[in-house]
Structure 1
Amino acid sequence: MAITGVNVVTAAKLLGEVGDIIRFRSSAAFARHNGTAPIPVWSGNDDRHRLNRGGNRQLNTTLHRIAITQARCHEGARALLKRRQETTRDTSKGSFRVLKRHLSDVIYRALVHDHNQAAP
């Protein structure tokens, strides 16, 4: 709950949908599970990606709510969105996809840290 945009209900939803965090070998595997890992638009182009429609949709919806809150209230998220649109000329959807992936990594690290703190 130390992450901006995560309240009690959101934290409970995250924990319920994720289960045991150690079942994911990396943050990339966690992103693949929650649907925030980017998919290339076509095989010959390495710099364009699209949103992954797979993964756990409930978990992806929870990340979406956190991202919307951060885009409105968190200075770092606003700076990330602005920087992505200015430097890479991303669409707003593309920039938002990057923010959701970043949040997925942050949440993964927080859950792993909490798991390591609770382990005897």
Structure 2
Amino acid sequence: MIIIGIDPHKSAHTAVAVDAAGHKVGQRRFVVNSGTFGRLLHWCAQWPGRRFAVEGASGLGRSLAQQLAAAGEDVVDVPSTLSARARLLATGGDRKTDPADALHVAQVALFRTDLRKVSAEDQSTILRLLTERHDDLTGERTRIVNRLHAVPAASSCGSGMRCPRDSATRSASVRASASREASQRYSVADRARAPGARTSRACSSSSSPMPSWTASMLSASVDR
């Protein structure tokens, strides 16, 4: 049996075919577009007895793995941790290239019998994926709209102050501020008009003479 290891990426997929001994018998790179799947099957038609090993069939390679499974191909999922371990054992380092990764994926699938077999997803799974994607797009749109609303508010109110959002809130804020200032002014004026406050200020000031009405009040109290 021929094992075809695939290293999937967003822009291109690299496929390497190995025989039963693990020797490479073919290699090709496929640019990702609408005709990628057809070209891959046409290239693999030279090996009737074949099995596909896709790295990350539940992640980045999910679309390709599902296309292969829906076409009736034998597909297994190779976790990236296993392919990385095989690369480390083969090269003695962590340097990686797409052809080398695809080769190690195929070799892992050749010698491991406990890999997960990829099956075609039904309509419920597809609807769930579409719903999750819709929720992600809705959340992203809400985040962008909130940011766009925050930019004019920050530019009009300044970066160091908080600006009320509507005219009613701004009016209430202005009225509250004016009321606080008026109460402070009235409190100061009441203290200034109090006779005790005037007497204490007059007595504590040695440079200014005592007013006549204050002296008369003090003398009258002493007589009583």
Normalized against structure 2, the TM-score is what?
Answer: 0.20
Specify which structure has the higher proportion of strand. Answer: 2
Normalized against structure 1, the TM-score is what?
Answer: 0.32
Specify which structure has the higher proportion of helix. Answer: 1
Greater relative contact order, per chain length (Cα 8 Å cut-off, separation 6+): 1
Choose 1 or 2 for highest CA Rg: 2
